[in-house]
């Protein structure tokens, strides 16, 4: 009831203002132009404001022996749609495999193996290994667990900064790379593990630069 | 609770994969392809290509590739979408895509990660500049390394 009244009041306030927002006017005008089809017969830049142009076209079967359902020569939203559709099987397969590794305890093994390495590799205590493994899969899970570790006094302020650096660059790289990266996997010239390994190495590199800079130039107290 | 067998584990993950592909990937790809279309028909793409050719040329990339880097600041998915779109219409070739791909993941999505990583973890703000700067440097390193790798192929 209270909420409702508040909302009503707010709506009233908006009405009282009686003004139009500039962004609203512009987007409305643009939408009218785009959907009107007025620009369809235009040439050059004006066709950017035509719905049919933006929708683009599906590719066609130019060479039946090599063509997939995406065809060749497509463009715009339609080509994007078919590309996204072509990725679905790969993403489902990858996530299915990751799910098995996760649920059979494969990640726990990785975590155990990682624990003794954390101090020499990044100057972090072994108890961050679970958060570290999680952060490779989910940006939000990793960041949340890091806050918990600090709040429980398991890591210091400096260690948190080093660990956050590790997460910030190449965030959730395993899941992001396997899903988003699949858009161009068919086109790249190196094994798909190469970019992934490079990003992981860079994560450790960034963490160590931060470790060095913090120890050298920052004082512990805020 | 019943223990899951391996088939159920896979199916559960694959179902998550469907949702990621349809709800996460597809809207990003559609946006990227429409955006590139706008840039192309307005002639902005050719202009961007000319202006940024000297910078991106350092890594063996065409000027248009700057669109991938700029989009990457906001979203990794958007950036790979832009890359895929450029590949489709010949703006970049397979070699150049290979150079660009790791950089997207090494330093992509920083703007949203300011909140999602730095904000959530509660790290002190005095470290923000250092952490942000290092992720940009990582992107540049990734481009450099990959440009040498591709040359050696």
Domain boundaries, chain B: 6-152
Chain B residue with Cα closest to A143: B121
B78, containing H or E segment: helix B76-88
pLDDT higher than threshold 50 for residue B4: yes
**Residue, of B95 and A86, whose pLDDT is higher:** B95
Among A104, A160, A213, the residue with its CB nearest the CB of B123 is: A160
Q: How many CA atoms within 13 Å lie on the side-chain side of B142?
A: 34
Asked if residue A150 lies in contact with residue B122, where contact means CB atoms within 8 angstroms, the answer is yes
pLDDT tier at B24 (50, 70, 90 boundaries)? Answer: confident
pLDDT value for A160? 94
Min distance B147 CA to chain A CA atoms (Å): 12
Report CA B22 to chain centroid distance, whole Å: 18
Among A91, A146, A180, the residue with its CB nearest the CB of B76 is: A180
pLDDT digits (tens, 9 = 90+) for B65-84: 999 998 888 888 889 999 99
pLDDT value for A222? 44
CA-based torsion, B82, B88, B93, B99: positive or negative: positive
The question of ipTM being above 0.95 is answered as no
pLDDT value for A220? 56
Question: Nearest CA to B56 among B108, B112, B103?
Answer: B103
Tokens describing residue A206:
């960034």
pLDDT higher than threshold 70 for residue B142: yes
Chain A residue with Cα closest to B123: A161
Among A160, A171, A196, the residue with its CB nearest the CB of B113 is: A171
Show the low-confidence residues of chain A (pLDDT under 70): 1-18, 219-222
**Structure-token match 């099987």, residue found:** A89
**Cα–Cα dist A155/A172, whole Å:** 21
């Amino acid at each position: 009831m209270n909420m409702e009244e508040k909302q009503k009041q707010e709506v009233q306030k908006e009405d009282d203002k009686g003004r139009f927002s500039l962004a609203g006017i512009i987007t409305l005008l643009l939408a009218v132009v785009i959907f009107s089809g007025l620009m369809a017969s235009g040439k050059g830049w004006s066709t950017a404001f035509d719905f049919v142009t933006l929708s683009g076209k599906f590719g066609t079967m130019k060479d039946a022996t090599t063509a997939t359902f995406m065809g060749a020569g497509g463009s715009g939203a339609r080509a994007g749609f078919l590309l996204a559709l072509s990725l679905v099987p790969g993403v489902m397969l990858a996530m299915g495999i990751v799910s098995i590794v996760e649920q059979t305890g494969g990640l726990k093994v990785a975590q155990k193996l990682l624990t003794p390495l954390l101090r020499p590799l990044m100057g972090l205590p072994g108890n961050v290994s679970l958060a570290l493994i999680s952060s490779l899969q989910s940006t939000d899970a990793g960041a949340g667990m890091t806050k918990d570790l600090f709040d429980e006094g398991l890591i210091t302020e400096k260690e948190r900064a080093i660990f956050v650096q590790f997460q910030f660059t190449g965030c959730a790289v395993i899941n992001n790379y396997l899903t988003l990266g699949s858009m161009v996997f068919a086109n790249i010239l190196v094994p798909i593990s190469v970019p992934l390994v490079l990003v992981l190495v860079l994560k450790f590199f960034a963490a160590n630069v931060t470790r060095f800079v913090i120890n050298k130039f920052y004082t512990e107290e805020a | 609770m019943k223990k899951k067998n391996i088939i159920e584990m896979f199916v559960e993950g694959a179902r998550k994969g469907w949702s990621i592909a349809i709800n996460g990937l597809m809207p990003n790809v559609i946006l990227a392809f429409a955006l590139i279309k706008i840039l192309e028909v307005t002639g902005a793409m050719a202009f961007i290509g000319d202006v940024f050719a000297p910078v991106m040329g350092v890594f063996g990339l065409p000027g248009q590739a700057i669109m991938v880097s700029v989009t990457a600041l906001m979203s990794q998915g958007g950036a790979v979408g832009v890359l895929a779109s450029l590949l489709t219409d010949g703006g970049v070739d397979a070699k150049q895509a290979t150079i660009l791909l790791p950089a997207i993941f090494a330093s992509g999505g920083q703007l949203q990660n300011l909140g999602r990583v730095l904000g959530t973890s509660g790290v002190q703000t005095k470290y923000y500049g250092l952490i942000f700067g290092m992720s940009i440097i990582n992107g540049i390193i990734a481009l450099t390394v990959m440009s040498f790798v591709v040359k050696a192929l």
